[in-house]
Structure formats: structure tokens, C-alpha cells
């Protein structure tokens, strides 16, 4: 058993007869009353996000996890297939376990957290950013840059991303996997 002082991003806990991963947390010490921890939890079985507040010192049931390096192979419907880079063992995971399935390109390395008690995969941690090629983008209108104007672009994985007007088809862009937003254009 751990307490609320051990809460950190990415920690997997057992809560309300389900397994949750802590997405965000904030320790709050109000001037009046006891301290508490505000958390945002994501269910690893359903993908549902839940806000919860734990009082200071509350005991939480931490699940022991191991992290393994996997490589994304291919997607087949809602199933995504990965290969362990050390043992070459292949696993298949449902789409709802992934944070940003639309940004996964074949060959991308990800970290998979596995429950040590049951040997079941719990979550997939994507790299902080990915570089993808733009396959379709509307042409930008010259002189329409007085504001931070954006347009929709489709990348090679099929995901849609808002990009600045100067991005064209064939450009490679860096995308933040946490928010799914454009970061910068990559020159090669």
C-alpha cells in the first residue's frame, strides 16, 4: 500500500474495482482545512477518464508494472500489433489502450507497461513527439497570415492535424503525441 504522497504521472493504481493510470495530479494545500490531491485517472480497461480527489494520507493500492520496449508492426481494425524488441514476442492490443492510435506509424518504438501479477499489458506510452509526412493539405492563401490561421492537413497515418498555412503536401512535420497538435516543420 502506498499513500497520496507517492502519486505521480503514469502510476497505475487499483481503484473502484478497476485499474487506472494517473494522467494528471495536483497537490493542494488550502489555507483552511486539510490538504488533498486532485487527480485525473484513465481506466485501462475502458479508456474512460475520471476526476477524483484523494484526501492527504489516503492509502492507494499501487499495481506493480514492468516496462518493455515494443515496436509497432501494423493495425488490423481495432487491433494494433506490437513486437517485443528483446524477445521478438508479438502481442495484439485494443485501440482503447492507446493514447494516440492515429499517430502510430509502422516501426515506431513504444513503451508497454505490463502488470507483473497477471502479465497483461496495461498501457502504451508513445514517444513525446512523432515526425510524419503530410499527404494532403489545402493550399494556403497568400497574405492570409495576419493571425495564427491554421488549416486541416492529413498525415501519412490518416490522422487529421491543424497546421499553419505554409505547410504543404510532402512536408514532414513534428506532432506532439499528448495533444495531437502541430509542433514544427522538419527540414531534412
pLDDT digit string, tens, across residues 60-76: 888 888 889 999 999 88
Provide CB contacts within 8 A for 113, sequence distance 6+.
Answer: 10, 12, 65, 66, 67, 121, 122, 123, 124, 125
| Mean pLDDT, all residues of the chain | 86
Q: Are residues 68 and 119 located together in one domain of the fold?
A: yes
58 belongs to a structural domain: no
CATH number of the domain encompassing residue 38: 2.30.30.30
Q: Any idea what the Cα angle at residue 134 is, between residues 109 and 107, rounded to 5°? A: 15
157 belongs to a structural domain: yes
Range of the domain at 154: 127-183
Beta bridge partners of 19: 14
pLDDT range class, residue 187, cuts 50, 70, 90 = confident
- How many structural domains compose the chain? 3
188 belongs to a structural domain: no
What pLDDT sits at residue 145?
60
Q: Which of 90, 123, 156 is the last residue of a domain?
A: 123
CA gap 30, 36 in Å, rounded = 9
Q: Are residues 112 and 131 located together in one domain of the fold?
A: no
pTM score of the predicted model: 0.73
DSSP secondary structure string for all residues of 131-152: EEEEEEEPPPPTT--SS--EEE
pLDDT, tens digit, 9 for 90 and up, residues 82-91: 999 999 999 9
Q: Are residues 108 and 156 located together in one domain of the fold?
A: no
Q: Are residues 68 and 44 located together in one domain of the fold?
A: no
Q: Are residues 47 and 82 located together in one domain of the fold?
A: no
What pLDDT sits at residue 157?
87
Per this entry, what is the length of the chain?
A: 188
CA gap 186, 86 in Å, rounded = 31
CA gap 132, 137 in Å, rounded = 13
pLDDT, tens digit, 9 for 90 and up, residues 109-120: 998 888 888 888
pLDDT, tens digit, 9 for 90 and up, residues 36-51: 999 999 887 777 889 9
CATH number of the domain encompassing residue 160: 2.40.50.140
Amino acid at each position: 500500500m502506498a499513500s497520496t504522497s507517492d502519486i505521480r504521472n503514469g502510476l497505475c493504481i487499483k481503484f473502484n474495482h478497476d485499474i487506472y493510470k494517473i494522467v494528471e495530479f495536483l497537490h493542494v494545500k488550502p489555507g483552511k482545512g486539510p490538504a488533498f490531491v486532485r487527480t485525473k485517472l484513465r481506466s485501462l480497461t475502458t479508456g474512460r477518464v475520471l476526476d477524483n480527489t484523494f484526501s492527504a494520507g489516503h492509502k492507494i493500492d499501487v499495481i506493480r508494472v514492468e516496462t518493455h520496449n515494443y515496436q509497432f508492426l501494423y493495425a488490423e481494425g481495432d487491433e494494433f500489433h506490437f513486437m517485443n524488441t528483446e524477445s521478438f514476442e508479438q502481442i495484439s492490443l485494443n485501440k482503447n489502450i492507446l493514447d494516440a492510435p492515429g499517430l502510430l506509424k509502422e516501426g515506431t518504438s513504444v513503451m508497454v507497461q505490463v502488470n507483473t501479477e497477471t502479465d497483461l499489458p496495461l498501457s502504451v506510452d508513445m514517444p513525446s513527439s512523432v515526425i510524419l509526412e503530410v499527404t494532403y493539405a489545402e493550399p494556403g492563401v497568400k497574405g492570409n497570415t495576419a493571425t495564427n490561421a491554421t488549416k486541416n492537413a492529413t498525415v501519412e497515418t490518416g490522422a487529421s492535424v491543424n497546421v499553419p498555412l505554409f505547410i504543404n503536401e510532402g512536408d514532414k512535420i513534428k506532432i506532439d503525441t499528448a495533444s495531437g497538435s502541430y509542433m514544427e516543420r522538419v527540414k531534412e
